[in-house]
Structure 1
Amino acid sequence: MSAPLRTARRWVAPGPGEPATWRLEEHEVPEQGPGEVTIRVHAAGVNPADAKHVAVPRPGVEFPTVIGYEVSGVVTAVGPDTRIVTGAVSVGDEVIAFRVSGGYATELTVPAQKVLRKPAALTHAQAANLLLAGSTASAMLHAVDARPGETLLLHAASGSVGASVLQQAAARGIRIIGTASPSRFEAVRRFGGIPVEYGDGLTDRIRAVMADAAVETIDAALDAAGTAEATEASLALVGDRHRIVTIVSPRAAAEHGFQASSGSDPETARFRDAARVRLVGAAERGDLVVPMAREYPLAQAPEALRFLAEGHPGGKIALIP
């Protein structure tokens, strides 16, 4: 079943630059071919990568280019012979799409292999922010071979990736000591983490927390902060550098011989895609939630990214067409 071409709006980066240089443009939504679906977007997830990937010229990025990698919405048309990742699909189904191109939009046509059913337990705003943070967290735990009964150090534990790491680790019986500001300690405790204040003297404070919690060793470290103190503490407390991973400091990883995880790496991308169904299932059962900070109208995408860039938003951000 297909629908006639319709007009939608989407954010476009005309060239490398900050979100203030982007344009909200009208375009015709492409007709669905085999293996494609069209989604009316109810919410688009907002992530640092949205702006980062178009801020400067990059190999493989041709301008003008559209913005946004994950959405939640309702199917408005289905191409012939089409099934989504989680099975059959029909017009009217609520779905999410991940690793798409042009999610900052009112409607878009995407490959069905990027689409999954929306977890009923989540709002559209939450669902639109489930998979990028969730799959990144899952890939970090996988990279360090995290095992039940171990204790891990997590930098930026109160952030969006950190919140997902905490929940996925707790479900597997893995204890987390997580760095955060004191104002965000309850966000870490909410998901079973042991908070510790970041800043100068971090390694000593972590050792004090370890003593209080009767923790003898830190088995692995996950860095979502990217600070020098995070690198220093990880190296001081984890004996095996292969069990340290960062998603924000590839230079430090190369310098000190630990891992850097990136969705642009083909192997990591395959792992993240494989994790999607498990993450959707966990969210459907209520075992994985998405803390939210703010929602913005689609027309205010630059403002949303400006708020995100200020740091410590306290949860995820969604754009609502």
Structure 2
Amino acid sequence: MKAVTINAYGESPQVTEQPEPKIGPDSVLVRIKAAGVNPVDWKIAAGYLDQIMYVHFPLIPGWDLAGVVEQVGAAVTEFAPGDEVIGYNRQDTVQSGTYAELVAAPVRTLARKPASLSWQQAGGLPLVGLTAYQSLRAVGVGKGDTVLVHAAAGGVGSLAVQIAVAWGARVIGTASESKHDFLRSLGAEPVAYGDGLVERVRALAPEGVDAALDFVGGDAIPASFELATSPSRVVSIVDGGVKEHGGQYVFVRPDAADLTALGDLADEGKLTVHIDTELPLSETAEAFRLSAEGRTRGKIVLLVP
């Protein structure tokens, strides 16, 4: 099968021929249609996560997938060949990722593909959708809350805005001026980054916000604690140091039930995935470059023929 591989940290990704994966009793073999590109993918390939994860070479990057089940393991009852699925295929070691024609994925990482989403959108949903969903749940966002979402036009932020709106919350989102119309289309009230952010948010919410979600780090964290009515309702996916100040840190986890809930929101017309760039596997290096720039609106997705 064709797959994107690197043989050492920092090496440019290349499409190579690799053996087809074996499937264990609790896994299924998925023929990939699309794979979302996330910052963690190029960070792993560059060696930035070497302190916390075992990485084996040759490395096939990628954790997001959308595709069709080809085979099922001996213990699998949840899926059958021909089923269309999405998945956040993160495991405890990193080697056999989703930038490939075929992937062996444990059923705990999978859910059925939302019928309303294209393959590209479905491939871009799992990691960012789960991150947004689990962050909002961590701080108990619900009907009537006012929520501040930092980096609201990005992959995670744009999903968090839509989920919070679907749950009945009012959303204030930070983004550059050029992305404010995009945020309004999602149901958020946009504010600009930079100096004076706290004052701009207070102009919209004089009493502060009920919850704040940090998807960018830096100055967003102290601003969140200043604006949130309780430090326990500040959550970051960037800096675990928020816990020292009473906030919460979320490292996204595979969860089939959460993926199913995201799919339900999509099929109810309350959630979509905005695709910024589509590229073939052969242009993975370009996908990594674009992701590292951090200027995309929505998702970068690799298409698998």
SS in 2 for 1:262: coil
Structure 1 position 245, deviation (Å): 0.7
Distance in 1 between the 2:200 and 2:24 partners? 57
Q: Which amino acid aligns with 1:76?
A: E
Larger Rg: 1 or 2?
Answer: 1
Q: Which amino acid aligns with 2:67?
A: G
Structure 1 position 187, deviation (Å): 1.4
Q: Who is 2:166 aligned against? A: 171
Structure 1 position 95, deviation (Å): 1.7
Q: Which has the higher contact order (CA 8 A, sep 6+)?
A: 2
Any idea what the Cα deviations from partners look like across 1:76-133, whole Å, max 9, x if unmatched?
223334233xxx422x332222224410111122223322221111111100111211
Q: Is the 8 A contact 1:35 1:83 kept in 2?
A: no
Identify the match of residue 249 of structure 2 among 260, 285, 289.
Answer: 260
Consecutive unaligned residues in structure 2, runs of 5 or more: 91-95
Q: Is the 8 A contact 2:174 2:193 kept in 1?
A: yes
**2:4 is aligned with 1:11:** yes
Instruction: Select between 232-241 and 30-39 the one with higher mean Cα deviation.
Output: 30-39
Identify the match of residue 60 of structure 2 among 49, 58, 66.
Answer: 66
Alignment of 1:109-188 (within 5 A): 109-188=104-183
Alignment of 1:235-246 (within 5 A): 235-246=225-236
Q: Who is 1:77 aligned against? A: 71
Identify the match of residue 50 of structure 1 among 41, 52, 58.
Answer: 41
**2:260 is aligned with 1:277:** yes
Structure 1 position 302, deviation (Å): 1.1
Q: Which amino acid aligns with 1:10?
A: A
Q: Is the 8 A contact 2:217 2:239 kept in 1?
A: yes
Q: Who is 2:87 aligned against? A: 97
Structure 1 position 255, deviation (Å): 5.2
Q: Who is 1:319 aligned against? A: 302
Instruction: Select between 52-61 and 126-135 the one with higher mean Cα deviation.
Output: 52-61
Q: Which amino acid aligns with 1:296?
A: L
Q: Who is 1:293 aligned against? A: 276
Q: Which amino acid aligns with 2:98?
A: G
Any idea what the Cα deviations from partners look like across 1:231-263, whole Å, max 9, x if unmatched?
232121123211111111224x15544222113
Q: TM-score, normalised by structure 1?
A: 0.86
Report percent identity of matched pairs.
40
Alignment of 1:28-39 (within 5 A): 28-39=19-30
SS in 2 for 1:288: coil
Alignment of 1:214-229 (within 5 A): 216-228=207-219
Q: Who is 1:196 aligned against? A: 191
Structure 1 position 59, deviation (Å): 3.3
Any idea what the Cα deviations from partners look like across 1:152-198, whole Å, max 9, x if unmatched?
11111111111111111111111111111111011111121111111
Q: Which amino acid aligns with 1:280?
A: G
Q: Is the 8 A contact 2:89 2:105 kept in 1?
A: no
Distance in 2 between the 1:66 and 1:243 partners? 37
Q: Which amino acid aligns with 2:248?
A: Q
Alpha carbons of 1:151 and 1:301: their partners in 2 closer, same or farther (altered >3 Å)? same
Shift >6 Å, 4+ stretches: none
SS in 2 for 1:28: coil
Distance in 1 between the 2:192 and 2:117 partners? 31
Any idea what the Cα deviations from partners look like across 1:12-70, whole Å, max 9, x if unmatched?
332333xx533432111134443332221111110011112342222331331321001
Q: Who is 2:204 aligned against? A: 209
